[in-house]
Structure 1
Amino acid sequence: MAHREFKRKIYAEFARIGNALSSARRLELLDLLAQGPRHVEALATETEMSVANVSQHLQVLRQARLVEAERQGTKALYRLADKHVLDLWLTLRSVAEERLADLGQLRRDVDVYDEESPIPRDELERLFLERNAVLIDTRPSGEYEHGHLPAAISMPMDELPERLHELPRDRPIIAYCRGDYCLFADEAVALLREKGFEAHRLDGGWPEWWAEDRAVAGVQ
């Protein structure tokens, strides 16, 4: 194979990954799959896309070997191909955060945006030991069951208003969700503070914690 032909073909292969990541909709699907496996129908409901549209986007991701599918009867269960795909998504997001000022403004424009710095992940153990902090996972229960931070209590955001009585008022409550661009934890912190709790958001969420090879609980 000639040198130029080799170059053309090899960069065409690299471009398959770039093409798969070039859709905002496909990035959202990757972000959801970073929380755990999902059926097409569940992804369609979450993203408010049609099943057909979701299926088309998933096929592009599958052709680029970024996701895998497992047939379960008449349905297909999709998951990230491996942790390298999660690392790729988080790296892409990190580059965007460094290069695109609009991202920070979009985050600040959210009604529940909290200007207080989130709790660093490395500080969590200290808060457990020194202040007996309570950690809550505000994602849907199915995502919690797939995998969660050790000692976290499943308290989905849509259940939180009715479960406030389960939380202690004399200990700090730390909330996390799907990551920096998920609003469940922000909403939880806002509600808890309104009701008189000391509440903070954890920096990042499940994907960031998992990507750093920290201890986890649940089924992976």
Structure 2
Amino acid sequence: MKDTLKHQGLRNKLVETISAKGITDENVLGAIGSIPRHFFMDSGFLDYAYQDKAFPIAADQTISQPYTVAFQTELLQIKPSDKILEIGTGSGYQTAVLCKMGAKVYSIERQHELFKKTSKFLPKIGYRAKKLIFGDGYKGLPEEAPFKGIIVTAGAPFVPKPLLAQLEVGGRLVIPVGQEVQTMTLFIRKGPKDFEKHEFGDFRFVPMLEDKN
């Protein structure tokens, strides 16, 4: 796959679009402006890669709308070398954004088909997460905790307690909570049992899957 000047031009327009919608973090905008989103999409959707829309990928999942990716990432307030847990690797696009911003990324994917594809694909195009895991996002990754930030990229019917428990004090959990429509929710850990909660309007995500085995 090639990344051309035309693609770069389309990315610049996309950055203008999400900037106009209120994204101000220069590091987030820089990541969106440099990552070839068309690499993460099926060839049939290449013409749409730089529209601010979600599109289908394998296993009945979607690649999130760039604005949504930017919005969630901005809420995390990432600094280089921050240890970040991502729940729902999906296409790997959000993972790439986190890597590009210098985070140490641990990412969990529940769909085996996607996990196999993305864990080979990401290093091939130069984005190296610390760890890509096939597993149940509801449980988090206790063996690597605590995390500076946790980002959930699927709609959770409730907030999984293990994710709150795996945040360091001062850490941030960004999670869309709800059934049909989700409310983007930010939890900031203020102490061992003390969390500050903020809500940021409605979004739509594919549902977060539990391990039924």
User: TM-score by structure 1 length?
Assistant: 0.29
More helix, by proportion: 1
Higher strand share: 2
